[in-house]
Amino acid sequence: MSMAPPTDPSKSVAGIGPERVGVLLVNLGTPDTADTRGVRVYLKEFLSDPRVIENQGLVWKLVLNGIILRTRPSRKARDYRKIWNTEKNESPLATITRAQSEKLAADIAGDRVVVDWAMRYGNPSISSRVNALTAQGCDRLLVMPLYPQYSAATSATVCDEVFRVLASMRAQPTLRVTPPYYDDAAYVEALAVSIEAHLKGLSFQPDVIVASFHGMPKKYVEKGDPYERQCMATVEALRKRLNLEPAKLLLTFQSRFGFDEWLQPYTDKTMERLAKDGVRRVAVVTPGFAADCLETLEEIAQENAEIFQHHGGEQFSFIPCLNDSEVGMDMIRQLVLRELQGWI
């Protein structure tokens, strides 16, 4: 009995184009411009998300529109200008996320795989990039939120927006979303290699390494968000890999906002305490950020360095994020290829 030849997925069938897979890297977001107006537009979108500020009632709307959006944008715009990529006229977060996308595309893209990037807030929007990928024939979509630790305010809101975009489509692409990778061996190894390489290049040996993660209102965790637990798991895995005692690799939380109690210990208060306790040399790593941004380049490398030195610290070093480094890209590639199994 004769057998039909196997189907070649690269060939079109009955007028339908070849199947393609889209890979979309998504980061948090950035203003389009480093001025008051640009920051105001960005903050309004960000702080109007009920995943970020859960109580979007009348009081919050009055505070947001009557106080925050009138006063905060000008201050934050000054901070953005300190780190702005003036050559490309964009934030470092946009520059780095684009580079991650381009390097991943150079490694895995081809006739069947298309790689792109988006921001949850600001531009390029998730909507624009999902539509661009489907316009290129992608009937399968892998979304990678660039957050190692899951949080409803980060990972979940990326999914919310992707689902919203797909809800308007008649012909939806099949969807996959990469899981959190807070304790993934490839992620922990990439962090460890990055930290070790940075420390070798310093003129001093830090007395303490501080792992600073973006903070979160404590009540969010009490409601069931796994973020704190996953941050703790990341630090514990790093301690084991680097062979460091808990007192030598500390976990802290930064970027608190508003009047609620946030996850502790706070990074800025820890910097102050360490200096007052006689610690003279500190290095800070930010494992929860996939790319350097305002919270790392300004808040940690500048603001917290000043706090540490003001209270008696002498030497402070910020360890860059994995960004589009060789070890960082190797990790992203491993995680993406793992999730693409069965599709390519």
- Are 122 and 45 in contact, with CB atoms under 8 Å apart? yes
214 labelled ligand-binding? yes
> In whole angstroms, what is the distance from residue 71 CA to residue 63 CA?
11
> In whole angstroms, what is the distance from residue 51 CA to residue 261 CA?
17
The 3-class secondary structure across 248-287, one letter per residue, is HEEEEEECCCCCCCECCCEHHHHHHHHHHCCCCEEEEECC
**R_g (Cα) of the chain, nearest Å:** 22
- Do the strands 138-145 and 20-30 form a parallel or antiparallel pair, or are they unpaired? parallel
Q: Which two tokens stand for residue 253?
A: 């939380």
19 labelled ligand-binding? no
Strand partners, 144: 25
Q: Which two tokens stand for residue 32?
A: 């389009």
Maximum Cα interatomic distance, the chain, rounded to a whole number of Å: 85
- Binding site for Fe(2+), by residue number, is 214, 295
- Binding site, by residue number, is 214, 295
